[in-house]
Structure 1
Amino acid sequence: MASKPKVYHFDEVVTHNETKDCWLIISGKVYDVSAFMDDHPGGSEVLLGATGKDATNDYEDVGHSESAKELMAKYAIGDIDASTVPKKRTYIPPKQAPYNPDKTSDFVLNILQFLVPLLLLGLAYAVRQFSKKE
């Protein structure tokens, strides 16, 4: 007789949201896909983007092959307690440096400081070549 699968609470599953420790919730099951991160055809970013929520819709929208569906069984570790999964995911934007217009203008100034003397040198060379022919 098979033992009952372990039932996980949503709050436990969402703590596994890194490349080396990644769990997903798909169709009421919990999958530990940590070992599959490097092999996933869509890249590890796709799997990481599906953490912290019920990823069933994400999974189904892609239209996985039968072999992909069979492979999933290898990574199943239990079931999710559906009553603990929030109905709506709270969006947390990725952390990134704010836009700094000063850095952009510094870049442009650096390019101009390089290009202007080069253009003047080219112009001087062209004038010299033109005046030699006369």
Structure 2
Amino acid sequence: MGADGKVYTLAEVSQHNNSKDCWLVIGGKVYDVTKFLEDHPGGDEVLLSATGKDATDDFEDVGHSSSARAMMDEYFVGEIDASTIPAKTKYIPPKQPHYNQDKTSEFIIKLLQFLVPLAILGLAVGIRFYTKSTS
């Protein structure tokens, strides 16, 4: 391990957010992944976009291998002060009216009740004019 138990705030870690100096917070630990940027299979943009926040969910969602997890030890620089990481808020979708399939079906039926007779009338008038013009 690279550091001797140093504790960083999220503000301190957030300053390391470019391709020449890139730090990540994963699982309560801080990693300096600057030397790994070019070798990362997902590209450097993936790592750079995870700076300045707790990247644990991003890391876990990908499903890294055990060898990738073991490799993290060489990039370890310290711990994160958990009190500096904002609490996650649960997403609450906006209130919307319930989708009523029956109302949609009713609308389609009413629309067809109007359009079908109109189409039949148009067809009848078209046939009438066609037969008059050909005779």
- TMscore range, shorter length: 0.5 to 0.7
1:74 correspondence with 2:63: no
The number of residues matched between the two structures is: 87
Deviation at 1:87, TM superposition (A): 2.4
Deviation at 1:86, TM superposition (A): 1.7
- Structure 2 Cα separation of the partners of residues 8 and 83 of structure 1: 11
Deviations 1:12-59 (A, max 9, x none): 000100011000000000000000000000000000010110000000
Aligned-pair identity (%)? 63
Gaps of 5+ in 2: 90-135
Gaps of 5+ in 1: 90-134
Deviation at 1:4, TM superposition (A): 5.1
SS in 2 for 1:50: coil
> Larger relative CO (CA 8 A, sep 6+): 1 or 2?
2
Aligned 1:86-125 pairs, distance under 5 A: 86-87=86-87
1:18 correspondence with 2:18: yes
1:62 correspondence with 2:62: yes
Structure 1 residue ranges (4+ consecutive) displaced by more than 2 angstroms after TM superposition: none
Q: Which residue matches 1:31?
A: 31
RMSD: 1.6
TM-score (norm 1): 0.62
Structure number with greater Rg is 2
Deviations 1:51-76 (A, max 9, x none): 11000000000000010000000000
Query: Amino acid of the residue matched to residue 8 of structure 2?
Result: Y
- Structure 2 Cα separation of the partners of residues 33 and 4 of structure 1: 17
Query: Amino acid of the residue matched to residue 35 of structure 2?
Result: A
TM-score (norm 2): 0.62
